[in-house]
Amino acid sequence: MRVLLVEDARALADVIVEGLRDQGMAVDAAHDGLEASAKLGVNAYDVVVLDRDLPGIHGDTLCQMITDRDDRAMVLMLTAAGAPGDRVSGLSLGADDYLAKPFHFPELVLRIRALARRRPAARPRTLRAAGIELDPVRRTVTRDGHHIDLSVKEFALLEALLHAAPAHLSTEDLLEQVWDENADPLTNTVTVTIGRLRRKLGHPPIITTTPRVGYRITP
């Protein structure tokens, strides 16, 4: 899952980004509306967590820009304006959910995941292939009924491969979906993480590597 956080309070933005990444999400951050608009023009996001009172381009305008797109992200407004009238006006702009500050971080995580599941063509609740079952809500993985303990990035990488199965995902695809815009395209982190994931999933191997094409789950 790829998330864009648009929040002009940098200290708060840093805390949210770190927390969401710890939950296995690929997160980019923008600190004003202009920066957010530029990122939205380059990257595809599942969810945008949007502060309403932004410099550059106001959050209300940015929300309308997002909802006017054909393949749009889901929008969660995150703002200090939490009165009922504020929530109604925010939702009337096309926002899909509204969370007032201050908020409980676990609730933010649950709301983001719920929005990602509601997005058109979103991932199903449980992903299954080759004896693997992955539940993105409970954060559990089993193979043939046996629990497998994965790190945050291993889990996110397996989720991306299962969602794409039986198609291939290239290294660049995985860097975009599982990591974020700061990922070094020349790094071997995908190869290393794939190796760890293969070992944990056991035998017979179910992740196939096709040279110059990418990785996929064997049907």
C-beta atoms surrounding 37 within 10 Å: 17
Mean pLDDT of the chain, nearest integer: 87
What CATH number labels 127-217? 1.10.10.10
Neighbours of 89 (CB within 10 A): 16
pLDDT band at 139 (very low <50, low <70, confident <90, very high): confident
Determine the pLDDT at residue 177: 83
- Flag the least confident range among 27-41, 152-166, 179-193, 203-217: 179-193
The pLDDT of residue 15: 96
Range 125-145 average pLDDT: 87
Averaged pLDDT for residues 166-187 = 81
Band of residue 127 on the pLDDT scale cut at 50, 70, 90: confident
Q: What is the mean pLDDT of residues 25-38?
A: 94
Q: Provide CATH 1.10.10.10 ranges for the chain.
A: 127-217
- Determine the pLDDT at residue 84: 57
CA dist., res. 162 & res. 19, Å (int): 24
Range 140-166 average pLDDT? 92
pLDDT of residue 111: 94
Please give the CATH topology (third level) of the domain spanning 2-118. Answer: Rossmann fold (3.40.50)
Entry pTM: 0.65
48 pLDDT higher than 90: yes
Where do you find CATH 3.40.50.2300 in the chain?
2-118
- Please check whether residue 143 is in contact with residue 132, taking contact to mean a CB–CB distance below 8 angstroms: yes
